[in-house]
Amino acid sequence: MMADSPESVLAIAREVAGVLRPSWLRRLQERIDARMARVPARLNEYGFDDQGLSPDFVRQNMLPIALLYEYYFRVRTVNIDRVPRGRVLLVANHAGQLPFDAMMLSSAMLLEGEPPRIARGMAEYWVSELPFVSVAAARGGALVGTPKNCASMLDAGECVMVFPEGVRGMNKLYEDRYRLMRFGLGFMRLALETNTPIVPVSIIGSEEQQPGLANLSGLARLFGMPALPLTPTFPLLGPLGLLPLPVKYHLYFGEPMSFEGDASEDDADIEDRVDRVRAAIEEGFERGLAERSGIFS
């Protein structure tokens, strides 16, 4: 075989790697392929949807994430069948310095949801400014978290993940684990506006994956970073220190909740409903923490 361009060399390398791949890895990829084949999507002639999602990209790059899902975090889902078809908001707790929780939740929807679907993430504004990351996020179905984007996703019948704690949750300290930070109210207004059911999701495990000892927010601002967490391993070990502990993930899906009312109500009235979602997530915490024997099992 002649190798006349870097692309063809890469293609050959990929083929060789494919043949050498152990059978269990191949089976995992086949499982991804089979699930992806059933994902509904409205694609154009080049295989993208209007927001730049590419199922082909997901299929080709899902393997490392699926490995994390199966073998590193050993994710266990409880009641994932409660997620209704059609538009739905998955509202979950957020923790662990890096968004592995979002990654695992969307992987669960893809690998174990029925039907398999690509849960759309709502990313922070600055994610769009990061080279490579922004492209990977868009191809994987994430969008900038504006109300308009979220509403149009729900109108299109998609499953949207929301973490109302935002960075407040992501950078929470170890002592605050399984304690929900203040919730943003935007998701509830959108749910009311678009008449979308909410499924509360309690994620057990992520809150211990990267114990935050302190958050040097002053220094972070100085460097123009969203946060600068101090953990037992970061920044001590450099970027490697950002690797999460191999905690076991448990995803508890609550009963779908429907809310009625006017999206333009006062904050106080919206907050009442938000508190019911919070309570549902906390209920999942209680059950999940009681059911597990340790953070690694």
Query: 150 to 169, contacts with another protein by CB under 8 A?
Result: 152
102: which residues sit within 8 A by CB, 6+ positions away? 94, 121, 161, 163
Q: How far is the CB of 146 from another protein (least distance, A)?
A: 4
Q: How far is the CB of 134 from another protein (least distance, A)?
A: 6
User: What totals of helices (H) and strands (E) does the chain contain, helices first?
Assistant: 10, 9
Integer Cα distance of 260 and 193 in angstroms: 9
- # residues near another protein by CB under 8 A: 24
Q: How far is the CB of 131 from another protein (least distance, A)?
A: 2
Integer Cα distance of 91 and 277 in angstroms: 8
Decide if residue 148 touches another protein (CB under 8 A): yes
Q: How far is the CB of 101 from another protein (least distance, A)?
A: 23
Residue 57 or 69: the one with the smaller Cβ distance to another protein is 57
177: which residues sit within 8 A by CB, 6+ positions away? 95, 207, 208, 211
Decide if residue 225 touches another protein (CB under 8 A): no
Q: How far is the CB of 98 from another protein (least distance, A)?
A: 19
Taking residue 156's Cβ as centre, other Cβ atoms within 10 Å add up to: 14
Residue 50 or 81: the one with the smaller Cβ distance to another protein is 50
Decide if residue 233 touches another protein (CB under 8 A): no
DSSP states along 30-44: HHHHHHHHT------
Residue 45 or 260: the one with the smaller Cβ distance to another protein is 45
Integer Cα distance of 114 and 80 in angstroms: 8
Residue 38 or 148: the one with the smaller Cβ distance to another protein is 148
Query: 30 to 59, contacts with another protein by CB under 8 A?
Result: 44-46, 48, 50-52
The residue count for the chain: 297
Decide if residue 223 touches another protein (CB under 8 A): no
Integer Cα distance of 169 and 182 in angstroms: 8
In this structure, which amino acid lies at residue 72?
Y
Decide if residue 71 touches another protein (CB under 8 A): no
DSSP states along 81-129: GGSPSSSEEEEE---SSSTHHHHHHHHHHHHTSSS---PEEEE-GGGGG
Q: How far is the CB of 87 from another protein (least distance, A)?
A: 16
Residue 5 or 23: the one with the smaller Cβ distance to another protein is 5
Decide if residue 90 touches another protein (CB under 8 A): no
User: CA quadruple 198, 90, 148, 151: dihedral positive or negative?
Assistant: negative
Q: How far is the CB of 92 from another protein (least distance, A)?
A: 23
Q: How far is the CB of 246 from another protein (least distance, A)?
A: 30
Query: 125 to 144, contacts with another protein by CB under 8 A?
Result: 125-126, 128-135, 138, 143-144
Decide if residue 146 touches another protein (CB under 8 A): yes
Mapped onto helix, strand or coil, the DSSP state of residue 186 is: helix
Tokens describing residue 30: 């086949």
* Residue numbers at the binding site for another protein (CB under 8 A): 44-46, 48, 50-52, 125-126, 128-135, 138, 143-144, 146, 148-149, 152
